[in-house]
Structure 1
Amino acid sequence: MPTDAERACFEAGIKFGSLYHQFAGTPVSPDSAASLGRAMEEAIENQPYCVDVAVDVRTDRIADELASQSAEYTELTGRFLDVEMLIEYEGVTVRTRMEMAGDYPLMKLVAVEE
């Protein structure tokens, strides 16, 4: 049987998978970034054991992307997101973060507190 800490970490992974794969490819522009970030937060916070989600849709990176193309929007990818989550399961708190590691959006455990 998994420990409560292992289960809390599993729940964090489920939340990240859901967040990333549900919203990847969504059309986004600097004007729509804030509302998309709030929608992502609210959607994931509906899931069990999720206490808090903070999504920063990086408008600076979106603007850089748009500067090299003629369209007024681009597709959401991990390079446009900074995400932090707080998961609580049976007295265990898991803090997570997604940020770019080079050119890869890395999802990682920051802390597991029992």
Structure 2
Amino acid sequence: MKDKDRDRDRDRDKAIFEAGIKLGALYHQFLGTPVSTETAESLETAIKRSVSLQPWVSAVEVKIDREKVLRAQEKGRGTESPKKFKYCELSGEMLDVKVVVLRGQVEVQARVKYEEELAYPLMRLEKVAFKSPPKNLKNSSTKSNASGRTTKTA
């Protein structure tokens, strides 16, 4: 195996690993967070911004299902009146999160989304793609900075 192929395979493996770590971390970090239909948008933003800070993350999309939030809100908690407390806890069935990780020349798209037929919030890879380096950058290279973001140098 050529060094170039070995590096590409390592980047692929690391990108896949990092995507899985990102999804697992956000899932376990944010489940149980108080949420309502009024605060769902700000929680989406908080999750997106938090995950975006992590190394090699190039894009994040977070959707919280408002219908499921509303149903959980209306259900209430235990014997308490549903109208007394107008919030619920974020659950896996409310989340649909996509994360894109770019490591070297490899882009991985991963997602956690509740699958009704499985009754389970499934984490999965949706795409693994090998990117070609830009052709118009002669004698340049890409470097990862301290946060893992790639920068181009001439």
Question: What range describes the TM-score normalised by the shorter chain of this pair?
Answer: over 0.9
**Residue of structure 1 in register with 2:52 after alignment:** 45
3-state SS in 1 of match to 2:108: strand
User: TM-score, normalised to structure 1's length?
Assistant: 0.94
- For these two proteins, the number of residue pairs brought into alignment is 114
Highest CA radius of gyration, 1 or 2? 2
- From 10, 14, 23, the equivalent of 2:30 is 23
- CA drift of 1:30 comes to 0.3
| Gap runs ≥5 in structure 1 | none
Instruction: Provide the alpha-carbon RMSD of the alignment.
Output: 1.3
What runs of 5+ residues in structure 2 fail to find an aligned partner?
A: 1-5, 77-81, 131-154
Structure number with greater CO (CA < 8 Å, separation at least 6) is 1
Q: If the length of structure 2 is used for normalisation, what is the TM-score? A: 0.71
- Look up the match of 2:127: 111
By how many angstroms is 1:15 displaced? 0.5
Q: Does 1:13 align with 2:20?
A: yes
CA deviations 1:13-69 (Å, max 9, x no partner) are 111111111111100000000000000000000000001111001111111122222
Identity across matched positions, percent: 38
Structure 1 stretches of 4+ with a deviation exceeding 4 A read none
Q: Greater helix percent: which structure?
A: 1
